[in-house]
Structure 1
Amino acid sequence: MSDNIKHVAVKALAWDLAADIHLPPGFDENTTYPAIVAVHPIGSCKEQTAGNVYGSALAAEGFVVIAFDASFQGESGGQPRSIEDPVYRSQDISYVIDHLVTLPYVDADRIGVIGVCGGGGYSINAALTDRRIKAVGSVTGVNFGRLMHESFSGYDPIGALDAIAEQRTAEARGGERKVTQYLPASPDAAKEQGLTEIDLSEATDYYRTDRGEKPGGRTEGLFSRQGSAIGWDAFHRAEVLLTRPLCVVVGDKPGAFGAYRDGLEIYRRAASKDKELVVAEGFSHYDLYDQPEPVKIALSRLVPFYKKHL
């Protein structure tokens, strides 16, 4: 795994994005390299799975990998904090590519993207319209719009939108902000609440323990800004627009967040002539975040995929 990391600021809409560039072994600034943008999960940060697992592993294989904090999250700018807006999240990827193409050691014609969980959905969505992306990898990717339209809104999207509108009006008038906590405070709290569903319990184990917890990771979202997610679809027009090579990695132990379902859907719908579906048998959504065996399965296909297409 690469530990040669350069911290940079990336210009976004009206603020900077904080990013880590993972450089390959024996890095030579006078050489040009293929580059990969690593996109973190919902409520995560650049130092977690997208950066410290997949980003560092791909850098060790000879790629320049840039992992960044989403707007309004981690060390990146943007106010108010803790906004999880899919439109901004997908646009952030293009701003990061804007930065990459200015670097003399990056080959602008060999840029790919990889995303984990919600980052997988955002990576796919960005590739629909940003043709600078030449290859797309999704690891246990989730379509956050589908998730918000369904279970995260209690299967009542109109009711949720009405509540969001009321809350946003209250905040505009100076009222207190309402922040949704995606997870219990600890694994013990999850047990006390009777939360045994696999994705929820394993997410808590990852984000609320030393296993994956990082200062920049905030598993929360500003409720008043969740409306755009309910009306958003990561895979919109994928049958026509998603023509880039695609590698979709899922575990076959499905959970409430729906990565298995979403992975099979985008594999079916994508217009890509070169697409791969990798099923890590016996493993779950959060196993693919950092557990050695499923991560090895994922990388065994992702590394040659990117080497072929970048």
Structure 2
Amino acid sequence: MRRPPLRASLFLALLATASVPGCKRESPEQPAMPAKAPAVTTAPATAVATSATDLRDVTENTPDYVIGISYPAVASRYPALATELKRYAEAARAELLEAAKGREKAGSSAPYELVLPFSELYASPTLVAVGVDGSSYTGGAHGAPLIARWVWLPQQGKQLRIGDLVPDAGGLEAISGLVREQLHTALSQRVDADELPPAERVEVLKGANKMIDDGTSPDPEHFSQFEPLVGANGRIRGLRFVFAPYQVGPYSDGTQTVEVPAASLLPHIAPAYRSLFEGG
């Protein structure tokens, strides 16, 4: 199926939705949305922030490609975090521009597209979380999802990675089991709701369960995308692990998440970070 082009007016309207007040997601109940309004200006391909801490939102609109990148205000307060976000955005942008050079040769009538709405998920003097739920379209039926999370420790000036939190292989294996169990349960409930014939149900579950098992094996890379769920006391009450489409299910299942409470995580958390968690 040929994907229709994203018209400039629609694209700018998409970015403009970030300007709605109260869009910051500081609790797990709120949806992930851009944390602030992007500066909507049409810029040439060279109009990218020249400094890592100068995170200017970018909109580029040409016959070959459309690009929209918006950053949360909180990132500008932490230069090292800003550098990480900008590096991610520029890598995605460079990949899209390279692909766009061959758009006509590939037979695509629609411009290629990159949409990266970075958002503030949580911010305090001790903990900052930023996410992006974007996409890159370079032909085909749909775009490729670009899903990433950054958990930042302002007082230490560093990103908190899963390998820091859970350094022991046995701990990651235990967390893997908890996550896998939730995903298997959710899958069974979805398949039951479809009321498939028994033989078809078995086949669907067989293939989907294998994707879950493969995508949640105890490899740090499989659990690298996570965000903190912070309680009223400012401590982490759990972690939400984020799995992009194709990691634990088909594209049609979308991004999937699993929440693991602090009580289940604490036995496996490195001593240096236990004080961040409830009960630690």
| TM bin (shorter chain) | under 0.3
Point out which structure has higher relative CO (alpha carbons under 8 A, 6+ apart): 1
Bigger radius of gyration among the two: 2
- TM-score (normalised: structure 1): 0.25
